[in-house]
Amino acid sequence: MKQIAIAIDSALNRLYAVCGAIAAIAILLIAVCVATSIISRLMGVYIGGLTEGAGYAMAAAGSFGLAYTFQAGGHIRVDLALQTMTKKVRGVSEFIALLLTTAAMLYLAWFMLRMVQISWRYGDLSDGSDGLPIWLPQFPAALGFSIFALALVHNFIKYGLTGETPWATSDTALLSDEEDM
């Protein structure tokens, strides 16, 4: 059973790394769209859809980057309050925060997937110059939020069973780096 849990943990960590790579590619796509838009306007040429494409890529980058950043312990936390707590109170506080965040993200993921389904069913189109079916850019954002919700559930279960968190590993690494300075 432990080997299965380790295999699932490893597979999910690889999924989160892939999400980080997708977010990086989306950021590069934003840069390409913006640069192309600037250069084409300087040349007096209008290329429709570049602004919308940059916006779609930004939504994908933001949503796909969430799971990777969380797993890397990179999300902002309020450590000032946590440092004043006893170990038991801090553990309970982190458990409650993880529970509430997980619940909120599960709802957001469900809502986003439902929005994609409704847009697809009714054939909604973008209001921009691209006229793209709106479910196409909504789907990557919904998928990114869903994978982030999965990462939260994964870490909620892992925290409940082992007490391990991605941010504790990150905090320990930060502390060891400070000691080396």
**Nearest residue to 68 (alpha-carbon basis) of 24, 6, 112:** 24
How far is the CA of 106 from the CAs of 14, 37, 137, in angstroms?
A: 21, 36, 20
pLDDT of res. 93: 85
pLDDT, one tens digit per residue, over 125-136 is 888 777 889 999
pLDDT of res. 6: 87
How far is the CA of 130 from the CAs of 31, 85, 125, in angstroms?
A: 18, 53, 9
Spans in the chain with pLDDT lower than 50: 170-181
Could you tell me if 30 and 50 are in contact, meaning their C-beta atoms sit under 8 angstroms apart?
A: no
Could you tell me if 137 and 129 are in contact, meaning their C-beta atoms sit under 8 angstroms apart?
A: no
pLDDT of res. 173: 42
Indicate the pTM of the whole model.
0.84
pLDDT of res. 176: 45
pLDDT of res. 168: 62
Phi first, then psi: give them for residue 125, nearest 5 degrees: -115, 155
pLDDT of res. 92: 86
Judge residue 22's burial from the number of C-beta atoms within 10 Å of its C-beta, 0-12 exposed, 13-18 middle, 19 or more buried: buried
Domain residue limits, the chain: 2-180
pLDDT of res. 178: 45
